[in-house]
C-alpha cells in the first residue's frame, strides 16, 4: 500500500490533524542498520512524528529532530521535509530489552529521560528556528506533545507506535497522528477530543489491523476533512560527489597529510549507513587537481 501521510481538519475546523503510515520506511532504516527491536521502536516513533512535522512545512523547508535522553541508545536523529522525504538513525542500533510491565517494548529505558528533544527548522531565513523541551517520559509521543506545548505554544496530542516482529525483528506496522487545537477552540470540543483519544487502541495496533491514516482520523475527528496526501519515502542526501566535496574542502595540506599517514580515506554516512572509500590513487588525483 505504501507509506503516506494526510493533513486533515475536524470539529468544524477547530482541530488540525496529521496521520501517517510509515511501516515501509521504518523497516528500510531498520534493515540498513541491523537494528534490534527496542531501538527500532524508538527510531520509528521519532521518525513518524518528524515526518508529520515535515508536513507542517512548505516548499524547500526542512527540519531536524534530535533526542538525547542519556539512555543506552545514545541519540536519535530524524530529518524530514515538506515533500515527505525522511531519514533517521540512532547512535547504538543494537539495543533491546524485555517488554515493560505494560507488555510493550521498553522504549523509555532505551532512550532515557535525562535530556531533551531538540528541533531545528530550516525555513529559508538567515538563521534557522531552534526549539527544545525536556524529555518527560522517553516514550517519544508524550515527549513530542510536551515539546509542542512548551516550545511552540500549541496544545497538541501526539500518538506514535511501532510493531516489531519478535522472531525476525522486521517492522510489522508503524505510524501515528498529531492533533492540534486551533486558537479559540471551545471547551466542549476539547472534552470530546480528549474522550475520543482516551478510547483509542494503541497506534501500532490500529496500523497492524490495516487501518489507513484516513480511517484513523475517522476514529478521532468529528467529520474529518482531508486536505492533502503526501507519500513518505526514505531519502538520503549523501552521495560520492558530496563526500568528494568535503575532502576537497580539507585543503591541500590536510589532504596530503591524510595520504602520507593513512594512504586512504573512508567516510561513513550515519543516516543510510553507506560507506564511501577513496584509495591512495584517487586521493592523489584530488590533491593534484587542487594544486593546479
Domains of the chain: 4-234 (3.55.30.10), 240-291 (3.90.1280.10)
- What value does the mean pLDDT of the chain take? 92
In angstroms, rounded to a whole number, what is the distance separating the alpha carbons of residues 58 and 209? 32
Q: Cβ(46)–Cβ(88) under 8 Å?
A: yes
Q: Cβ(55)–Cβ(8) under 8 Å?
A: no
In angstroms, rounded to a whole number, what is the distance separating the alpha carbons of residues 76 and 88? 7
Is residue 263 predicted with pLDDT exceeding 90?
Answer: no
Mean pLDDT calculated for residue range 249-255: 81
Mean pLDDT calculated for residue range 221-238: 92
Is residue 1 predicted with pLDDT exceeding 70?
Answer: no
In angstroms, rounded to a whole number, what is the distance separating the alpha carbons of residues 5 and 9? 14
What is the rounded (10 degree) CA torsion for 257, 262, 264, 265?
Answer: -80
More confident residue, 124 or 218: 218
Q: Which sign does the torsion angle of CA 102, 103, 105, 109 carry?
A: positive
Q: Which sign does the torsion angle of CA 91, 96, 101, 104 carry?
A: positive
Strand order in the sheet with 85-90: 129-134, 116-122, 62-68, 75-81, 85-90, 233-234
Beta bridge partners of 8: 17, 226
In angstroms, rounded to a whole number, what is the distance separating the alpha carbons of residues 57 and 63? 8
Q: Cβ(168)–Cβ(35) under 8 Å?
A: no
Tell me what pLDDT residue 217 has.
94
Tell me what pLDDT residue 249 has.
83
Confidence band, pLDDT 50/70/90 cuts, at residue 246: confident
* Each residue's pLDDT tens digit, 106-127: 999 999 999 999 999 998 888 8
Instruction: Count how many residues are written for the chain.
Output: 292
Tell me what pLDDT residue 130 has.
94
Is residue 278 predicted with pLDDT exceeding 70?
Answer: yes
Most confident of 68-72, 236-240, 268-272, 288-292: 68-72
Share of the chain above pLDDT 90, in %: 71
Most distant CA pair in the chain, distance: 72
pTM of the model: 0.91
Confidence band, pLDDT 50/70/90 cuts, at residue 225: very high
In angstroms, rounded to a whole number, what is the distance separating the alpha carbons of residues 193 and 11? 9
Confidence band, pLDDT 50/70/90 cuts, at residue 239: confident
Tell me what pLDDT residue 59 has.
92
Mean pLDDT calculated for residue range 163-171: 94
Is residue 218 predicted with pLDDT exceeding 70?
Answer: yes
Amino acid at each position: 500500500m505504501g507509506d503516506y501521510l494526510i493533513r486533515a481538519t475536524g470539529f468544524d475546523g477547530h482541530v488540525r490533524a496529521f496521520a501517517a503510515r510509515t511501516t515501509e520506511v521504518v523497516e528500510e532504516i531498520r534493515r540498513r542498520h541491523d537494528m534490534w527491536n527496542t531501538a527500532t521502536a524508538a527510531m520509528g516513533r521519532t521518525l513518524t512524528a518528524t515526518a508529520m512535522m515535515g508536513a507542517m512545512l512548505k516548499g524547500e523547508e526542512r527540519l531536524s529532530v534530535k533526542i538525547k535522553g542519556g539512555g543506552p541508545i545514545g541519540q536519535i536523529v530524524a530529518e524530514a521535509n515538506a515533500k515527505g522525504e525522511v531519514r533517521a538513525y540512532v547512535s547504538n542500533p543494537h539495543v533491546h530489552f524485555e517488554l515493560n510491565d505494560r507488555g510493550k517494548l521498553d522504549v523509555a529505558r532505551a532512550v532515557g529521560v535525562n535530556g531533551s528533544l531538540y528541533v531545528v527548522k530550516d525555513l529559508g531565513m538567515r538563521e534557522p528556528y531552534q526549539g527544545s523541551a525536556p524529555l518527560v517520559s522517553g516514550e517519544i509521543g508524550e515527549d513530542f506533545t510536551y515539546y509542542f506545548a512548551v516550545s511552540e505554544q500549541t496544545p497538541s496530542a501526539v500518538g506514535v507506535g511501532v510493531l516489531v516482529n519478535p522472531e525476525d525483528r522486521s517492522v510489522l506496522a508503524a505510524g501515528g497522528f498529531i492533533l492540534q487545537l486551533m486558537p479559540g477552540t471551545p471547551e466542549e470540543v476539547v472534552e470530546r477530543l480528549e474522550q475520543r483519544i482516551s478510547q483509542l487502541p494503541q497506534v501500532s495496533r490500529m496500523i497492524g489491523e490495516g487501518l489507513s491514516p484516513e480511517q484513523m482520523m475517522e476514529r478521532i475527528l468529528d467529520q474529518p476533512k482531508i486536505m492533502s496526501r503526501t507519500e513518505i519515502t526514505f531519502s538520503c542526501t549523501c552521495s560520492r560527489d558530496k563526500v568528494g566535496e568535503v575532502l576537497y574542502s580539507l585543503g591541500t595540506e590536510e589532504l596530503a597529510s591524510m595520504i602520507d599517514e593513512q594512504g586512504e580515506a573512508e567516510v561513513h554516512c550515519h543516516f543510510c549507513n553507506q560507506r564511501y572509500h577513496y584509495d591512495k590513487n584517487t586521493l592523489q588525483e584530488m590533491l593534484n587537481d587542487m594544486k593546479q
